[in-house]
Structure 1
Amino acid sequence: MEVELKLLLAPEDNDKLLHHPLLDTPARVQQLTARYFDTPDLHLLRHGAGLRVRKENGEWVQTMKAGGSVQSGLHSRNEWEGQVDRAWPRLGKLRKLIGDDEHWLSVLGAPDLKDRLEPLFVVDVQRHQWEVESAGNRIEVALDIGHIERKSRKLLVNELELELKEGDPAGLYAFALQLLDDIPLRISNINKAQRGYLLVRETGHAPFRAQALTLDTDASLAEALPTVLGNCLEHIQRNEVAVVEGHDPETLHQMRVGVRRLRSALKLFARVAPCPPALQEDIDWLGTQLGAARDWDVLLSSTLSRIAAAQLELQALALETARAKRHEAAQALLSPRYTRLMLTLGSWMLQTAPLLNGSASRFSRQSMQHLHKALIKRANRMDDDTPASAHRTRIAAKRARYALEFFHALYRDKGAHTYLKTLAAVQEELGQHNDVVVAERLLQELAQQHPQSAGAIQFARGYLLAYQAARPADLDDIRDRLHALRLPQARH
């Protein structure tokens, strides 16, 4: 299993890295040209594999990387590598390297795979390579400078790879944090092969939604924590590039949801693994940055759309502010503070999980009972005259929903589905009410910034308040549905 941390840096900072005191021996420099192969229907990509043939020191080397995971920039993948006699894959030799792994043998056993393989793109880089010892860990450091090319289209490559040769994976984060003190770095959650496939498919960055978690019924708490937190981090980081480079409001929404899930997960585990205060402060900062941008997106695309007579002037002002807030969110993601947050969180997660004892199933049952009681308590206190009481119930429903989603695999499907469906509906109903509350605050800010548009803004505020008054959430009905809910039964 290959374990490496991938980081991006600006070309103008390469010299800082090449002369950094942590890299105190001369680099070994070599030119690496690799061709990546797949079928026209992308058979290998669809199965989570990448196959390349690369020339190294005059020899052809074929490599297949497959499966594994990415958590906070830490790539863990199966890797099979060996020499071949040509610039084309030798599937027979690859099968021998794979051995008795039936899954990957079946992937290579697809009909006519050998005849359907074709080169899709080329990765051409100059590699500067070092081997370093850091806190008892042996790390291979590689700076790759070059490009990925397909049919005359090119993507520049300027990335740093830290591969663990021996030691503790947390050591990769510690080493990266030392470099970050002197060099602006960003975590990369996609590898060169994935970037090449973006050229092949000619697709933009689609929104990435939360993926279902898999936990064995006998999973330990030490296994559950990195699984849950890693799932939240994937949700956040797989939307990162799209938020920085794109304009789709849904990618920002998904990243914000990822942060909310992460915060809920940390609260869930706080009793057994309290998050360090400095780390929690940075996570709250990230949530604030994304939340500010998302609130303006909702105002523009959803809330104001309810006002049939909303003037173009008001729409233009909201659009201008929404774009500015998205730019601020993107700059936050490009900042050293964000990189430090992700590296520190990844390191803390790896070091904390082995210290935990107990059963994930028992922990989840106790947690769900506590969250359910808190939800009913909040629901009982809802009052039409106190908008904040409905908001608190919505938050409690969200926390219970996220917790059950994290541990869904440990519960019987039917009961869990009913519980999640009810909580999602309650969140949606109370959320529409909250959108209007947020819109009122944003419109007040807009009025202060643009007094010349006070008339249009006041009209919108009045319309939304009337809209809310005419369609109040039925708190009694919500309360009755929550009281009727029963916690799902655990699998045995």
Structure 2
Amino acid sequence: MEVELKLLLAPADNDQLLRHPLIAAHAGAPVRTRQLTARYFDTPDLHLLHHGAGLRVRKVDGEWIQTMKAGGSVQSGLHSRNEWEGPVDRPWPRLGRLRKLIGDAPRWLDLLAAPELKQRLEPLFVVDVQRHSWDLEVDGNKIELVLDHGHIERHGHRAPLNEIELELKDGNPASLFAFALQLHEQIPLRLSNINKAERGYMLVRQTGTVPYRAKALELPADATLAETLPAVLGNCLQQIQRNENAVIDGDDAETLHQMRVGVRRLRSALKLFESVAPCPPALLEDVGWLGAELGAARDWDVLLTSTLARVQVSPGGKTGLMDLQALALAAAQAKRREAAQALLSPRYTHLMLALGSWMLQAAPGLQGSAAKFSRQTMQDLHKSLLKRAGRMDDSDPAGVHRTRIAAKRARYALEFFHSLYRSNGARAYLKTLAATQEQLGRHNDLVVADKLLRELAQQHPQAEGAIHFARGYLLAQQATQSTDLAAIRNELHAQRLPHKARPA
């Protein structure tokens, strides 16, 4: 299993990295420099990609080396993948030799057994880089540090490439984060959650990034807390980081929404494990900062795309409402740019690296089973939710909001632990929590919209008439279409927790 941390840096900072005293202090030999050219292979219908594998042939010191990487995971920039590598006598894959390297791994042998795979393989793109590499020893951990500078090419189209790889040869994966944090103190870095093969496939498919939604987390019935903490937090971090590039480079409101959901899930997860693995206050503060940056942008998106759409044209015509929508659009775009700058900031990179490091160090010391922990946790969350629901009142928006947050926390927790429970009971409870969250969310959207519209009125007094009309319309709608809090309360009280976990 290959374990490495990938980081991006600006080409202008390469010389500073090459001369960095931290590298000199830990390198056992001078830097090695090589030119590497690799061809990546797949079928026209991308058989390998769709099954989570990548296949390349690269020339190294006059010898052809074929490599297949497959499976694994990415958590906070830490890539863990199966890797099989060996020499071949030509710049084309030898599938027979690859099968021998794979040995007894049915999933990957079946992948290579696809009909006429040998005949259908073709080179899809080329990765050409100048590689600088060092062998480091850091506090007893052996790490290979690589700087790759070059490009990925497909039919004459090139994408620049400038990245660092920290590969763990022997030792603790947390050492990769610790070393990266030290580098980041002097050189601005960004975590990378996609590898060279994924970048190449983006050229092949001519696609950018799309919204990434959280994947269902499957915990084994006998999972320990030591296994569960990194699995849960890693699932949240994956959702955050897989939407990162799209938020920075794109304008799809859904990518921002999904990244914000990932941060909310992360905050809920950290709260869940607070009693057994308290997160350092500085990290919690930075997670809160990230949530606020994304939340501000998301609130304007909701106002623009959802809430204002409820406002019917005023008797004075469409002009005023169109002007209001234009002002909201400008504000939403400005907040989106601010969110993107937050993701490009050193603070964000430090947060992701520090979270990855803390997670790997905190998990091994945890004792107990995930099943027992989840049962107690869900009981506590359910009790808190009923208490909040009992205090809801139409005249107290803050109390309604607190109930919504309690429903959201219970929902996220059960989504993390759902595989430990009988599916029917878990699905019914999740359905109720999701409905509660949605109904109370509509109520909250109107409260937030009124706040944002008041801000617009202060900034743009010339649009006061249209803004005043929109505020009045939404407030009237809130009064005439109020959420039935009593019905929500009764539905929550009627629910029973999925009480029987699978035997652990």
Q: TM-score, normalised by structure 2?
A: 0.97
Partner of 1:40 in structure 2? Answer: 44
Equivalent position SS for 1:247: coil
Question: Is 1:190 equivalent to 2:194 in the alignment?
Answer: yes
Partner of 2:317 in structure 1? Answer: none
Partner of 1:491 in structure 2? Answer: 502
Partner of 1:108 in structure 2? Answer: 112
Cα offsets for 1:287-345 (capped at 9, x unmatched):
00000000000000000011122611111111111001000000000011000000000
The 5 A counterparts of 1:18-33 are 18-24=18-24, 26-33=30-37
Equivalent position SS for 1:196: helix
Of 260-269 and 199-208, more deviation after overlay is shown by 199-208
2:99 to 95, 111, 124: 95
State the 1:27 CA deviation. Answer: 1.5
Aligned residues, how many? Answer: 492
How many percent identity over aligned positions?
A: 73
State the 1:456 CA deviation. Answer: 1.1
**Distance of 1:443 and 1:18 partners within structure 2:** 52
**Distance of 2:295 and 2:158 partners within structure 1:** 35
2:351 to 317, 330, 341: 341
State the 1:26 CA deviation. Answer: 3.0
Of 211-220 and 132-141, more deviation after overlay is shown by 132-141
For 2:335, the aligned partner's letter is: K
State the 1:364 CA deviation. Answer: 0.1
Partner of 1:478 in structure 2? Answer: 488
**Distance of 1:210 and 1:73 partners within structure 2:** 16
Equivalent position SS for 2:109: helix
Question: Is 1:121 equivalent to 2:125 in the alignment?
Answer: yes
State the 1:204 CA deviation. Answer: 2.1
Partner of 1:264 in structure 2? Answer: 268
The 5 A counterparts of 1:356-435 are 356-435=366-445
1:467 to 471, 474, 477: 477
Equivalent position SS for 2:67: strand
Dislocated runs of 4+, deviation >3 Å: none
1:301 to 300, 305, 319: 305
Equivalent position SS for 1:190: coil
1:170 to 156, 170, 174: 174
Equivalent position SS for 2:438: helix
For 2:342, the aligned partner's letter is: A
**Distance of 1:122 and 1:149 partners within structure 2:** 5
1:217 to 205, 211, 221: 221
**Distance of 1:202 and 1:415 partners within structure 2:** 43
Equivalent position SS for 2:23: coil
**Distance of 1:283 and 1:248 partners within structure 2:** 23
Equivalent position SS for 1:64: strand
- Compute the RMSD of aligned alpha carbons: 0.7
Equivalent position SS for 2:21: coil
Question: Is 1:319 equivalent to 2:324 in the alignment?
Answer: no
Partner of 2:457 in structure 1? Answer: 447
Partner of 2:248 in structure 1? Answer: 244
Equivalent position SS for 1:131: strand
State the 1:202 CA deviation. Answer: 1.3
**Distance of 2:390 and 2:22 partners within structure 1:** 59
State the 1:199 CA deviation. Answer: 0.8
Equivalent position SS for 2:22: coil
For 1:188, the aligned partner's letter is: S
**Distance of 2:234 and 2:135 partners within structure 1:** 28
Equivalent position SS for 1:92: helix
For 2:184, the aligned partner's letter is: L
**Distance of 2:393 and 2:227 partners within structure 1:** 41
Equivalent position SS for 2:80: strand
For 1:146, the aligned partner's letter is: G
State the 1:132 CA deviation. Answer: 1.1
**Distance of 2:218 and 2:231 partners within structure 1:** 8
Question: Is 1:7 equivalent to 2:7 in the alignment?
Answer: yes
**Distance of 1:99 and 1:21 partners within structure 2:** 43
State the 1:201 CA deviation. Answer: 1.1
**Distance of 2:144 and 2:22 partners within structure 1:** 12
Partner of 2:279 in structure 1? Answer: 275
For 2:119, the aligned partner's letter is: D
Cα offsets for 1:41-92 (capped at 9, x unmatched):
1111011000000000000000000000000000000000000000000000
The 5 A counterparts of 1:59-74 are 59-74=63-78
**Distance of 1:452 and 1:133 partners within structure 2:** 65
Of 68-77 and 310-319, more deviation after overlay is shown by 310-319
For 1:198, the aligned partner's letter is: M
Equivalent position SS for 1:407: helix
**Distance of 1:6 and 1:213 partners within structure 2:** 24
State the 1:490 CA deviation. Answer: 1.4
List gaps (5 residues or longer) in structure 1: none
Equivalent position SS for 1:23: helix
